[in-house]
Structure 1
Amino acid sequence: MNNDQKIQIRVPDEVAKALYSNVIEIRHSKEEFCLDFLSVFPPTGVMVSRVVVSPGHLKRMIKALEINLQKYESQFGSIEEAGNLDGPKIGF
């Protein structure tokens, strides 16, 4: 593929809508990472999306998130980190 050629991305309506997630569950094997995005409002919650990626792609995602987080904090100030990262036990 020519580097100047743009890839046209089609976004179906059911994917285009934004989903809210306030919890992420992460699992991995040697070949892939599984990211389950949850919307939890005790006493219940719902899985809103599951994304499975390769380790290499996850590493690129983390780098892109770090770059964007730095840009965000440069513009809006530091984000205070949440205290306890070990939330309530969640069962599927």
Structure 2
Amino acid sequence: MEEKRTPFNVEIGEKESEGIYSNFVLIAHSPSEFILDFARVLPGVKKAKVFARIVMTPQHALLLKNALDENIKRYEDRFGKIRIVGKPETSVGFQPETK
């Protein structure tokens, strides 16, 4: 049997409704949480500024990943495949643990 979802309202303040632009995200994690630092990198500037830090449980991080996967698929179905130009930078910020 499919579970029914109860609708609820989400309130967003005036400041938050403006949004924050981010073109770089640093991700770190521990056994109990994921930390996402949303930053902005500007051309010619060697320092990124973090504008927002979001901390969530691993379960919520997985739900976010699933929601992003679903929404990226919907976006690509409507507008075409998202292309990444150049090589994505993966060596900046926190480094994964080696075991």
TM-score (norm 1): 0.80
| CA–CA distance in structure 1, aligned partners of residues 60 and 21 of structure 2 | 23
The runs of 5 or more residues in structure 2 that have no matched partner are 94-99
CA distance 1:58–1:88, change in 2 (3 Å): closer
CA distance 1:89–1:60, change in 2 (3 Å): closer
| CA–CA distance in structure 1, aligned partners of residues 20 and 67 of structure 2 | 20
Indicate the residue corresponding to 1:51 in structure 2.
54
Instruction: Deviation per CA, 1:7-36: give whole Å up to 9, x if none.
Output: 333212222211110000000000000000
Indicate the residue corresponding to 1:30 in structure 2.
31
Indicate the residue corresponding to 2:87 in structure 1.
84
The runs of 5 or more residues in structure 1 that have no matched partner are none
* Structure that is richer in strand per residue: 1
% identical equivalent positions: 28
Indicate the residue corresponding to 1:63 in structure 2.
66
How many residue pairs align between the two structures?
88
Greater than 2 Å deviation, 4+ residue runs? 3-10, 81-90
Q: CA RMSD in A?
A: 2.1
| CA–CA distance in structure 2, aligned partners of residues 62 and 38 of structure 1 | 19
State the secondary structure of the residue aligned to 2:48: strand
Q: Which has the higher contact order (CA 8 A, sep 6+)?
A: 2
